[in-house]
Amino acid sequence: MRLGVAVKILGQAVKTHDTRRWQHDPHLSVSLVYLRDVFGYLDRQGVRMYRMASDLAPYVTHPDMTGFHGQIEECAVDLALLGQLADERELRLSFHVPISSVLNAPEENIAHKAAADLSALARILDAMGLGPEAVVVTHVGGTYGDRFKARERFAARVLALPDATRQRLALEHDDQQFSVADVLWVHQRTGVRVVFDRLHLQCHNPEGLDEVEALAACLRTWPAGVTPKVHFSSPRTAMHLVERRDAEAGRVERTLRVPHPTEHADFIDPFAFVAFLRAAQAAGLPDFDVMLEGSGKDLAVLRLREHLAAYAPDLLTSNGEIHSTPDRRPLTTDRQP
């Protein structure tokens, strides 16, 4: 089992992608230089799973900035070399589309832009020569007053995507609107694989699904021979300081913010994580990788490994990695929640 980190790196001063504004001609080629440094850091830390920034190729789908549209083709050689490097280091890569990409939006221009975003990210993974474990994760989107019609519209838009894009797609349930049951409904109609998110299930589970059964149902949506991925985070429980700059008054206002259960904590609750793994193991579920979504990023991954060594050493291999969960019994396709 691999533990992953999303985008930002805190343990070392490395950039993850070219964040310059369009006036300064940002480019995918610059992002790939930064990404090579990120890969080096992850390799030294023994982290084998990473979510790349969704704007790795800046403005590549902007409808009014066509000069940025050819970046992927311009970087074909560098992308292939970086993909080969990731493969040599057994580094699993993925993307997660930005919140502004809403495929099921009623407005055709918004949906068209979302489809372009998905296709661009899929093309990057293809250009890197990555296998089917490298996915582009998205959400269903908004309900727009009718959740059933909204998910039907999403399914129809998925089926209209190019085959190469659809093969890279993975769908995640969310913490407020579309549940595990909703995304499994989409899977049954489109074949898109499903990413299980534990915190989202805890926050939004109107069907009252059992956690292990929901996890099992999501794992079953992945093709044979492809290791599924799941998301795990702990809810923020501590108050934290929020700064707001008042430009007119020339001062910075600081207030304490009460946390909401949907917010991610900086680090992972090790006891909840151990209980999650042991429940999956007791149910005989197949192996899966875990993207940790703690706000502490790579520090959260490193800290969790330390905690596992202290509190659940039996879950670790001799080189400090997490044991693969044995597949003790087959999962049949009729066991849907």
Residues sharing a CB contact under 8 Å with residue 246, sequence separation 6 or more, in sequence order: 252, 253
Q: What is the pLDDT of residue 247?
A: 72
Taking Cα atoms as reference points, which of 197, 147, 190, 143 lies closest to residue 172?
Answer: 197
Looking at the structure of the chain, the number of domains it has is: 1
Cβ atoms within 10 Å of 131's Cβ, excluding its own: 12
Report pLDDT digits (tens) over 45-99: 999 999 999 999 999 999 999 999 999 999 999 999 999 999 999 999 999 999 8
Distance (Å, rounded) from C-alpha 259 to C-alpha 313? 32
Q: Note whether residue 125 is domain-resident.
A: yes
Q: What is the pLDDT of residue 264?
A: 78
CATH number, residue 36: 3.20.20.150
What residues make up the domain containing 218? 3-315
Q: Give the pair of three-digit tokens for residue 132.
A: 């089917």
Q: Note whether residue 330 is domain-resident.
A: no
Q: Note whether residue 321 is domain-resident.
A: no
For the whole model, what pTM was predicted? 0.89
Report pLDDT digits (tens) over 314-334: 998 766 678 764 433 333 434
Q: Note whether residue 133 is domain-resident.
A: yes
Q: What is the pLDDT of residue 130?
A: 97
Q: Give the pair of three-digit tokens for residue 119.
A: 């296709």
Q: What percent of the chain has pLDDT over 70?
A: 95
CA distances from 274 to 78, 132, 212, 281 (A): 39, 28, 14, 10
Q: Note whether residue 323 is domain-resident.
A: no
User: Is residue 257 scored above 70 in pLDDT?
Assistant: yes
Cβ atoms within 10 Å of 104's Cβ, excluding its own: 26
Report pLDDT digits (tens) over 138-182: 999 999 999 999 999 999 999 999 999 999 999 999 999 999 999
Task: Provide the Cα torsion 228, 219, 158, 209; round to 10°.
Answer: -140
Q: Note whether residue 335 is domain-resident.
A: no
Q: How big, in percent rounded to 5, are the helix, strand and coil portions of the chain?
A: 40, 15, 45
Report pLDDT digits (tens) over 95-109: 999 989 999 999 999
Report pLDDT digits (tens) over 260-287: 878 878 999 999 999 999 999 999 999 9
Q: Note whether residue 303 is domain-resident.
A: yes
How far is C-alpha 33 from the geometric centre of its chain's CA atoms? 22
